[in-house]
Amino acid sequence: MKVLIYGAGQTGVQVLRNIQNCCDVIGFLDGNPEKKGMEIEQIKVFGNIEQLDQLDYDKIYIGTVFWKSVKEKLLHAGVREEQIVVELPEDTVASVRNTWLACYGKLYSDSTLAVAEAGVYRGDFAAVINRCFPRSVLHLFDTFEGFTSNDVAIENKRYASGIETECFQNTSVDLVMSKMPSPDHVVIHKGHFPETAYDLEETFIFVNLDFDLYQPVLEGLRYFYPRMAAGAVLLVHDYYHAGLPGIKDAIEDYETETGIKLVKIPIGDYQSIGLVKIQHERCWGD
């Protein structure tokens, strides 16, 4: 059976690993034009849905948590219902990101400055952060119930993306905490960000910002970036996700708002951008 996977990110890669022993995976599809022609796990990225007419396939597996909108697009493009498969992995492993963090963590293995993740979902990357910074308190910010209706309304008004509040609901505080190697160093902040962060007085050596939506990401930049230590990295996930344009917009709007030209460093996972906090900020025109 010849199979395509829509989504050449970490979820799509996990789908590949789950099915490659029973299916002939002939390629990826992805909405990001920059990925067209790339090879991921030695599998070619053909492009977006418009490439389907040129491909011989039996089924398409959807490899993104925003599967509903992708399914609608596939059906509209003439793909039959029985050809579309949605079997998303509950937990994904971003090996490049994990390796990058392990190397970064070694630079600050003796640091007692705080670390954080904003947008935790099921806690897999939070567990890596907890392990890589053994002396730091890890602050985890999430509703642990999925997107809030207000944030989704703002996103859909700006981008008509079709994102729904049902995304990321299959999680809980207990599930996340069960994965932490050092749970005594973890503090849960359950609820809507940034309200859950106002009482903190911390300086951060690392933050992973993974809120997916424009407004929470902008609020995350406003809150965390001024609180980062010099030389620290604020990692923003989904920067390269073509279906989530609010991530780049939030970063650009934060730069405009503050007059700061952020130092952006890709980490090689085709998903995340690292923002390095420098000692003396450069403003526009410098």
pLDDT digits (tens, 9 = 90+) for 195-208: 999 889 999 999 99
Supply the pLDDT for residue 280. 60
Q: CB neighbours of 127 closer than 8 A, spacing ≥ 6?
A: 179, 180, 181
Distance between CA atoms of residues 270 and 38, nearest Å? 11
The region of weakest confidence among 20-34, 147-161, 223-237 is 147-161
Supply the pLDDT for residue 31. 86
Supply the pLDDT for residue 101. 97
Supply the pLDDT for residue 93. 66
Supply the pLDDT for residue 200. 92
Domain boundaries for CATH 3.40.50.150 within the chain: 95-276
pLDDT at 114 over 60: yes
Supply the pLDDT for residue 283. 52
The domain over range 95-276 is classified in CATH as 3.40.50.150: yes
| pTM attached to this predicted model | 0.82
Domain boundaries for CATH 3.40.50.720 within the chain: 2-85
Rounded to an integer, the average pLDDT of 121-146 is: 96
Q: CB neighbours of 122 closer than 8 A, spacing ≥ 6?
A: 90, 91, 170, 171, 175, 176, 179
Question: Where does the pLDDT of residue 163 fall: very low under 50, low under 70, confident under 90, or very high at 90 and above?
Answer: confident
**Backbone φ and ψ of 232, nearest 5°:** -75, 160
Supply the pLDDT for residue 187. 98
Q: For the domain bounded by 2-85, which CATH number is listed?
A: 3.40.50.720
Rounded to an integer, the average pLDDT of 160-168 is: 73
- The residue type found at 136 is S
